[in-house]
Amino acid sequence: MNQKWNLQDIRPAEPRKRRVLSDQRLPTSPIRTMAEDTPEEPMVEREQIPSIRIENGTKRGQKRLVFAGILGIILIVGALVLSALLGKTELTIYPKINQPNISSEFTAYPDKRDNALSYEIVTLESTSESQVKASGQIEVKEKATGKIEIIKTTEGAERIIANTRFRSPDGKVFRIKEAIIVPGAINGLPGTIQADVTADDVGDSYNLAAGTRFDVPGFQEGGLDDLYKAIYAENRSAFTGGISGPQYKIDEAELSTARQALQIKLRDELLKRVESEKPSGFIAFTGAVAITYNQLPAVEYGKDLVTIKEQAILQIPTFKQQDLGSFLAKEAVASYSGGAVRIDDPSALTFAYTSATSSNSVIANEPSLTFKLTGKPLLVWEYDAKKLTKDLAGLPKTSINNAISAYPGIEGAKVSITPFWKRSFPESADDIIVVEEIKQDE
């Protein structure tokens, strides 16, 4: 028989807990709804909690490795490209050298001769003036003098008698003092000879400037047209000494002192010009200087004062550097077998004329010059650097020894090529840098 249960008989296992809102007693108010009975709780802002992203660590590591690999390749390629762009090829040449003791007398000529040393004359001029006290005037009449270079443009020598006339473009006549023989042209080069001339008349109008051209009127008058066209003359230096008229009288001692001061000043000025005005590639020795002085007509400066003028003409033989180097190598180096040789430092040689009068004479008129050279110059054999770089362009680095064997002037060579992995010379010869290094015994 089934038992019946009343609701009262059903009890919870635990007593129901009541929620106490406050310590006050509950008011006995009308029954309210649950919504009314429950007070509103204030809204509480909840703290933002960052989201957590979970990734696959293996995949992320692989990406990093790929990125690092690509970056490494870029850096390596960039370094290779940069080193290739900044790379260079440097070829160090060690030329053949010799340093002999020189103490010999030599003779050189103004023209080219087989197995002989030749030179070229450099002529420099300058004028200066100063004022001195005059004691009166005197009448002076003098003829201008100078030297001319007679030139023949056709073959065969021609004799010209003494007192032959040479005429300037403005009709002024000068005569040679002695008979001479003018050499004919050789291989297209005119024959030349120098001669002293004197003006036909007095006066300073005959003091012609250097570079004046003269003809020979006697050839034209005699109907010798071929000779008239083939022979002419020029003065390499100005004519001086022509005077006609009163000249101021000056105390000899005072005049001598004043002119000496002018000459020293002119000499110093001309010596400074030698190095800058000599031909490129030529050597000029200080001891080879020859200077002549000319007194120019004095002019009135003021009451009892006279302006004296002095002209200085400096001439110096210059030697082509390679010609002199090769000549000395032939004379002093027993093993010399030919080839171009230069003097590394010409100041190591001392030049002195054999004749003491050469240093104050017009050496341009001399047929030859005799002098002594002493010293221990360093002779350096020459080589064609441009041809060598062209020979090496594009060849392997190891070909250097075979290449320089064709150049007798080269004792040895060293090659430096960057970047390090390059094993050949650049294709362009212009990219090969040549550096000369002279090895001297300690």
Residue 50, pLDDT score: 58
The residue count for the chain:
442
Of 375, 397, 414, the residue at which a domain comes to its end is: 375
Token pair for 342: 């230069």
Q: What is the number of domains present in the chain?
A: 2
Encode the chain in three state secondary structure: CCCCCCHHHCCCCCCCCCCCCCCCCCCCCCCCCHHHHCCCCCCCCCCCCCCCCCCCHHHHHHHHHHHHHHHHHHHHHHHHHHHHHHCCEEEEEEECEECCCEEEEEEEECCCCCCCEECEEEEEEEEEEEEEEEEEEEEEEEEEEEEEEEEECCCCCEEECCCCEEECCCCCEEEECCCEEECCCECCECEEEEEEEEEEEECHHHCCCCCCEEECHHHHHCCCHHHHHHEEEECCCCCECCEEEEEEEECHHHHHHHHHHHHHHHHHHHHHHHHHHCCCCEECCHHHCEEEEEEEEEEEEECCEEEEEEEEEEEEEEEEHHHHHHHHHHHHCCCCCCCCEEECCHHHEEEEECCHHHHHCCHHHCCCEEEEEEECCCEEECCCHHHHHHHHCCCEHHHHHHHHCCCCCEEEEEEEECCCCCCECCCCHHHEEEEECCCCCC
Q: Are residues 138 and 196 in the same domain?
A: yes
* 4 domain-assigned: no
**Residue 10 covered by a domain:** no
Measured CA to CA in angstroms, residue 55 lies from 50, 58, 60, 68, 73 at distances of 16, 9, 8, 20, 28
- Indicate whether 310 and 422 sit together in one domain: no
The Cα 436–Cα 433 span in angstroms is: 10
pLDDT for the residue numbered 60: 62
Indicate if 107 and 180 belong to the same structural domain.
Answer: yes
Taking every pair of Cα atoms in the chain, the longest distance, rounded to a whole number of angstroms, is 189
Domain span at residue 235 reads: 102-375
Residues 205 and 304 grouped into a single domain = yes
Tell me whether residue 127 is in a domain: yes
User: What tens-digit pLDDT sequence spans the chain (442 residues)?
Assistant: 444 544 444 455 455 444 444 344 444 444 444 444 445 555 555 555 555 555 555 666 676 777 777 777 776 666 555 555 556 899 999 999 999 999 999 999 998 888 899 999 999 999 999 888 877 777 888 899 999 999 999 999 999 999 999 999 999 999 998 899 999 998 888 999 999 999 999 988 999 988 899 999 999 998 999 999 999 999 988 898 888 887 777 778 888 889 999 999 999 999 999 989 999 999 999 999 999 998 887 777 666 788 888 999 999 999 999 999 999 999 999 999 889 999 999 999 999 999 988 898 889 888 899 999 999 999 999 999 999 999 999 899 889 999 999 999 999 999 998 887 888 898 898 989 999 998 876 5
Q: Are residues 93 and 110 in the same domain?
A: no
Same-domain pairing of 91 and 211 = no
Q: 402 and 325 in one domain?
A: no
Is 154 found in the same domain as 129?
A: yes
For residue 18, is it within any domain?
no
Neighbouring residues of 96: CB distance < 8 A, sequence distance ≥ 6:
380, 381, 408, 409, 410, 411
Q: Has residue 298 been placed in a domain?
A: yes
Q: What is the pLDDT of residue 37?
A: 47
185 and 304 in a single domain? The answer is yes
Residue 281 backbone zone (phi > 0: left; psi -120 to 50: alpha; other: beta):
left
pLDDT at residue 396, as a whole number:
92
> In which residue are the tokens 């003006």 written?
199
Separation CA 163–CA 143 (nearest Å): 15
Is the distance from CB of 310 to CB of 297 less than 8 angstroms?
A: no
> Would 250 be classed as within a structural domain?
yes
Which of 375, 395, 428 terminates a domain? The answer is 375
Q: Same domain, yes or no, for 276 and 387?
A: no
How far apart CA 48 and CA 277 sit, in angstroms, is: 93
Let me know if residue 35 belongs to a domain.
no
pLDDT value of residue 97: 94
Q: Do 393 and 246 share a structural domain?
A: no
User: 349 with 427, same domain?
Assistant: no
Decide: residue 339, CB within 10 A, 0-12 exposed, 13-18 middle, 19+ buried.
middle
Structural domain ending residue among the three candidates 348, 375, 402: 375
